[in-house]
Amino acid sequence: MSATPATLPARPALLSDLGVMLRPKIAGFVLVSAFVGAALGASYGPGSETEIDAGGRVAAYLLFLEIAVWVTLTAGASSVFNQVIEREIDGSMVRTRLRPLPSGRLSPRFALLFGVLLCLAGVLGLALRMNLLSAILALATTVVYIVVYTPMKRWSSVNTLVGALPGAMPPVLGYCAAAGEVGPWAWILFAVVFIWQVPHFMAIAWLYRGDYAAAGMRMLPAMEGTEGLAGRQAALHALTLLPVTVLPYIQGLAGGIYAVCATTMAAIYLAASLRFARGEDERGARILLLVSLLYLPAYLVLLLFDPGCAPPGP
């Protein structure tokens, strides 16, 4: 006897919904940034607790990938917990109302269990396979995201800066997992990703300001009397990014290729932010959003392939 049509989509649909809960685009960023952080931690961390050179380059990259997976699992847990808490808010916003929880495809209890399992897997993986410091930092990042940032979105526009703190942690966690400490490159990566998030999110918040306002979210572009502030915040942070990205070259952590490419990319990001700040219109917001989505992957790839800051070889 063949299965009925109603039973066939059950497992694929469940897996699809679980994948949506992980927010694949963000998970991809976390995976790549943690990988890069691990590569730099292995290269520059004097307190490395893992033998990355013995098995050659392939073994090193497999180690970096493993670290990135553990970090991505903890970030996925944060995403799931956030969606459990904000399921009613998500249901009131056009952009998020079709997510698994507000649409009723998954129950909050099941999603909560899924988040707990992800968190346990990620934190224990870092603790048992890498080092305790990276596991503690990963758990602390999840707590800040859920306990501080998530509720703050309802009562303060400062939530963007607070949310950027855990948002900038994936490369730091990768570095720490490989090196056993938080070194100079970890702080630089933290600063770059933290600053990058502000123009990026100001563009998103401006484009969806109506949704945020209707849901009662205190996002700067969605608040009355804040005209022009989102653009100025974007431009100010993009300007700050220029000297921060040059720091590795000044400190001898990266070469000339890095300095030229990183400065050029930061200048383009600044130009897009200034374009948005001049008028705060839809075209400017979409240009800034596009440039922001291109900037960070390009910067991370630069760190991997610039000979001045390349990961260790055999």
User: Tokens in use for 289?
Assistant: 């959003």
User: Residues 147-194: pLDDT tens digits?
Assistant: 999 888 888 888 889 999 999 999 999 999 999 889 889 999 999 999
User: Tokens in use for 74?
Assistant: 């903890």
- Residue 9's pLDDT band (cuts 50, 70, 90): very low
* Amino acid at residue number 229: L
- What pLDDT shows up at residue 216? 78
Separation between Cα atoms, residue 223 and residue 225, nearest integer Å: 6
| Full-model pTM | 0.87
- What pLDDT shows up at residue 18? 86
- Residue 314's pLDDT band (cuts 50, 70, 90): very low
Separation between Cα atoms, residue 21 and residue 75, nearest integer Å: 11
Best CA proximity match to 37, nearest among 308, 300, 314: 300
- What pLDDT shows up at residue 308? 61
Of the two residues 216 and 191, the one the predictor is more confident about is 191
User: Residues 51-105: pLDDT tens digits?
Assistant: 444 456 778 888 999 999 999 999 999 999 998 998 888 777 777 778 888 888 8
Q: What is the mean pLDDT of residues 257-273?
A: 95
- What pLDDT shows up at residue 55? 54
- What pLDDT shows up at residue 5? 40
Q: DSSP assignment, residue 222?
A: G
- The domains of the chain, with CATH numbers, are 17-309 (1.10.357.140)
